Structure 1
Amino acid sequence: MLTIKTYPSNCHSIAEVVTHPAHAWVSAAVHRTTNSLCMRPLLLHYDCVYLAQGGWSETSRSRAPNGLDTTIHRIFAAHVNVEELKKEILSTNGALKDLQNEHSQYKEEYGCQILQLNEALETYEKQLALEKEQTKQLQEQERVHCLANESLQRELIERRIEVERLQTLMNMVKEESQKKTEQQLRIIQEKTASLDCTSFQLESMKDALQKISDELTAKSQCLDHAEKCLTETRNLLAEKDRSLQCVFDELKKLRLYAESKKREVQQIRADNEKMTELQRDTDTLKLLLVEKDNMIVTLRGQIEAITHMIDQQNQKVDVLEMEKSQLLDEVAAKKCQLQDLALKAETKEKRIAELEEICTTSELEKSKLMHSNTRKILSAKKMKKEREEIMAELRETKSDLANLAEDYKILKRKYENQTGDTENTTTILKMQLKAAIAELEHAKTTLNTVEDCDGQAVKIATRMQKKITAKREQIDMLQSRVHLLEEALSNATKDKHVLKVERKKLMQECVHEASERYKLSETLETLKAENNTLKVNVTRTEAALEKTLLQLSECQKVMQHLEQDTMRLRLQHTLELQEFKGPVSDLPGRSVHSDSTDLFHLQKKKLMCISDALKISKEIVEKPLEDVKHLPNSLSPFKKEAMKMRKNSNITLDHISKEQLTLHTAHLADKDSTVKLSYASSPKKQINEQEVKPKSPVHCLLTTAACDMDSNGKFYSPTNDHELVLGMFFLITGFFVRYIGADLLTRSILLVTGSLQYV
């Protein structure tokens, strides 16, 4: 009886033939027809069943097609592997397309972001150029102030000591960070060593599998030698060999295609890594953009404050110009009034012109000093704001370093998890390989026992062959998994390399930030030193201002006294001239002439002293602080001259007062009185009448001694060194013009002119 059954199993038509031993040739023919119809490798399962009244003979046992079954099972396993590879290739193609689309989208997005970042960089470069120009200007100003910084060298030494201490602290922090990084590197090296051990074990397992496959091929060769006696099987084997060669060619092609796909996948992974790096770069650039925006906001605030300060200063300058114009108008009016005076007032007009020139120079110097002070104040404010910004940037860098450390820890944990997963998979595969090896050994023992078995051993052998084919399929699957694990290991090594590169970048960034911190600390020290110098200069100028104000108040009082004395002498001289207009004898005329000449010489000497004091004041304006110390030495000759002039003036005044009482009283009458002298019989009566005449109060004031007048119109002592005070006044005015301005000086001049008018 011959029955043929066909059923689908894994897309293959399987023919199951149940035959009698006598029908072996028919089964071979059926096998040929099935091969020709299906055009693909078919798996033939020969289930030999004893008939009810018969059994196998030893000849039929020898004719069993064991070699054919092994070859068919191999072909079927290869075909299954090919289909699985096709499915995997289709899945990888779909994934590759998705990845390519995502890659193109990311490229477009990152291209736009890079263009924006380039534009922002250009703007920031322009801003940096402007800031550099400003820094150059500040450096030029610093060069001007280098002479004043010599007194601050001690403070700089202390600051340097503090800087060295900070540097030691920074070195300690760097050493700690280096130790931490070295520990992390050691951990990574240990993990790499464990991965190397696992890879070595996998290679040993591969060698064992190759040995087993060699043994199986040896067994198949033995079976082929045993089956050479069968001529029918030879033809079948030749046909199967041809089909196998075709299949092997297809397999080679598929392997090449799979390798090309693997290379493409590796390229895609490399592109993905590059994309991740670009994402990180964009994140860093975004952070830099945020920082620069903050810098721009702060700079705008500074610019607004500076504009406000400039407006205030412009208003102040306008007010000062108005005051100046008013003062100039008043000076012009005073000039018009002074032009009507006598020839003796011309000397004072020259003096006023000189004072006006000094005022103009002092005003120019005042404007220069005001501008320089405003610039210094603005620069100090800018330095303070920059210091605050630098401190904020330092805090931000610290926070960024902390975030980077946290990110590094997270990456480390991910890497540890990946390595743990790979270790678990390797252990599972090892267990499966051990089980497969045990089953193969069991199959070997069963094959050895097949030859000694009886009639039912054939069934056991066929079942064992089926199990062996299944186990071979499992071995192929395990080999594919091993390949996948190798790829995973290669990816892990690549990830490790990427982590190393990132670590190097982080180390470089840390070094760069440390250098920036050092530079910022140096700039902070310089700014502090400049701030201290400016504070010291401000305190000095304030002290000098207070001293000059006190001295000016004293000088104003002295000037008032001197003007009163000069006007008193002039009035006295005019009254004396009026008294001596009548018929006067030669002796009193000579005495009056001599007295007037003495007064004229005294006034000349006073004016010479004043001019010398003005010259000294002009010279001392250039170096006020040094010359104020040498004032007593420079004014010593003027003191001597003032003492001599004071003695001469006292002598002349005493002489004039005495002569007014003795000589000039008889000549105060009119021409009629002279006529009376010629006709009078008794001159004593005339003299008594003249003595009885009342005198004017102005005459009484002028005839009194100059040593008895006080500042309030009362009497004062002649011990006051008026000429010395005048010299001091002009020295102080020069100092005041250089360091404060001409406002107070013009006020003092107005006070002097007012006192002159009042007199």
Structure 2
Amino acid sequence: SGAASSFLGNQNVLASCILSTAMENSASSSIGSSSPSSVFCSKYEMHTDSEKKNKNGAGKEHMENVLEEYSQKGRDVQKRLNEATELHEQQKISLRLIIADLQTKLMEVQLERDALQDARQKESQSLENAKIQLKNTIQELEAANQLQEEMLREADSQTEHLKKMVHSHEEVLLELRGILIDYEDSTGKKLCEHENITSLHIHNLSTAFADILQDLDSEVSHLKEKVVLVEEELESLKKDSQTQTQLLLQQHQNRYLEHEQEVAALTDKANSACSYANSIQTQMEIKQTRNQYSVHAHQVSHLESTVSQLRSELQEAKRIYEDKVEDLEKQLHLARSEIAEAQTEQDQCSQESGNLNDWIHQLLTELHKKEIELSLEKEQNKRFWDRNTDNSIAIDHLRTQLDNKTMQLQRMENTVKEVRTECHRQMERQMAAIKEKNESIGRISSLTVQLESTKETLCKLQDDLTAKQVDLETAEKTVSNLTASLQEKESALEVTRKEIKKLHSQLGSRMQELQHLKNEEDRLHNMQLECETLKLQVLEKERIIEAFQKQIDNMTQIVGQHSRTAGAMEVEKSQLIKEINDWKLKVEELKIAKDEKEARIHEMETRLSELELEKVKLVNTCTERLHALNDMKLEKDQLMNELQASQSELAGLAEGFEDLKRYYQDKMEEMENTANRMKMQLKSAQAELEQTRTALRTMEGSDGNAVKVAVGMQKQITAKRGQIDALRSKIKFLEEAMTNAAKEKHYLREENSKLSQELSYIAAENIKIAGELEILRSQDKCLKEKISKMETALDKVSMQFAECQCIIQCQEQEAMRFRLQHTLDVK
């Protein structure tokens, strides 16, 4: 192009080039040929011969000098053309280097693809490792279950030990029955009021012992009245504590219901917020599609207008080309402004979504606060339970006081025995029997201590039962909350996973499209440069043609002067005119091809801009979804760990609860049986007492031996009265335990009904979740079908792009042919 511009610098040089080419063509032609150049030479020689005769050889030297100058200039032109061909070859070499660079880029892209595949394999391996960890945790949980089973076995062994203790207590009760049978055979009488204890007769000993026994009975009755008052106070305290506990339970239930209502309201708010966010996302997508559609429609309208302008204004090529450039710049500016508006809308929508996320975070903080309030209420309930335990401790203290009183009674009985030893040294045999009965009384006291210890163990078991019931309630609540949150998180995780898979597939396809489009951009850029060079060459050739026309006009003038060479010059003129027409046709064809290529270039640029925008959007969405997915995975792992721990605790508590329930039922049955036996024994003892009293009344007038027997019977009666009082206290305690057991049974039934209702609710929620899963699966199938359709469309676009590349290559080959023909013609 530089050689041609220097060549166009001077019109006289162009004229000389034309003459030199004409002379060289005439010299290169053979002697026997009938070409117009040979005719021109012959006519020229005849003309010079005639001029020699007329002008004495002056013009001959001038023409030789001109011919030498023309030959030198022709050689210079050939050198310049050779330089132009060398430049063209260098351009070819640069194009080949560009192709090699593109191939290396393709190899790099393939390596990146392999790296992505390796990363996916690593992710799959990490998932397998996570599965192995889950299996290990399951094994650990099984080991924990085995430990719990061992603990249950130990509890069973303890229950068997307690059963043995109960059996021993039953044997002691049998011994007490024997004592009651002995008591039936003996009765007591009052002492004589007028005689002293030392001077009492053997016949009046019975009356003295009877008076002592009456005094002891009066003291015992007084103590019993105190015990009754204390028991009434205890019952009032129990009633007060029960009313307080019931009020607290009602308050706790009301607070729990209020909290559930608040949680339901918050969940409704959260669901509404999620639905609002989803609606905003759908609106955003609709707006984006509308904006894209409007951009496409606007671009299509502008392209149609440009095509109509091109068709109507082909005659004025330069002006139309400038107008096209201005229109395209305006279109690019409009497209960029529309893209900026779309980006601002996206930023606004992202801000709105961020505000929604903040609102959801606030709701979650409120939920956390409510949970903290629940924990505080649970602590208050524990404090109330501690207060109840303090009340039970006070009751135990009162019982110890009662035991002390019984010990005082025993001491009084010992003093009575000492008086008996002082007054009745002669009754050593009876004293031995009294000692044996005292030993039995000691056994009874030890049995009472054992009974108190069993009562304490029963109270502790009741406290453990209540604590475990509270733990069960809390565990069930936490499990229900955790299951609900898990189900929600799992559904959200499945949706995000599906979306991420879709986005990965879209990213892969869009990345391939972007790579293809980048390659196309490079090729189009090269084509644009070549088109610009072709335009410059066409303009230069048009100027050359104009210069040729001017030179032809000059030559026609010269031919008019030279009449003999007119025919040859006319033939050459006709040939040059034909070549000029051919060149004009080729120039018009190149212009048409150039316009088509420009239109395709603009279309590809618009596609590139759209794909880049979509790529940016997809990358942003992918990053956001990946962060959200990682957070959800962490939350899921935490919830799974909490759920497994709570499930294991719940299973252990349920098993312990069932075992305690069975143990409690067995104890209740045993206590009922013992109560019935004790009632029967009381009735039989009362009947035996009446019989012994009647027998004693009949035996009052008998001998001294009978009196001794009566005294022994009275001693037995005193011992058995103490036993009867102990049995009555035991019966009262058993009745109270029966009432408490009935209350606990009613409470357990209510809890079982609540648990059954919660299980039905969980089953209904599982059914709903299964329906939602089916809906999500159907949506997944639809999206997969859409992806397959998009892949087919992309394949079609790639085929069209390959066809365009083939067309461009063909046009490049044609342009090269035209250049070669032009260089040959110039030579």
When normalised by structure 2's length, the TM-score is 0.35
Higher relative helix content: 2
When normalised by structure 1's length, the TM-score is 0.37
Higher RCO (CA-CA < 8 Å; seq separation 6+): 2
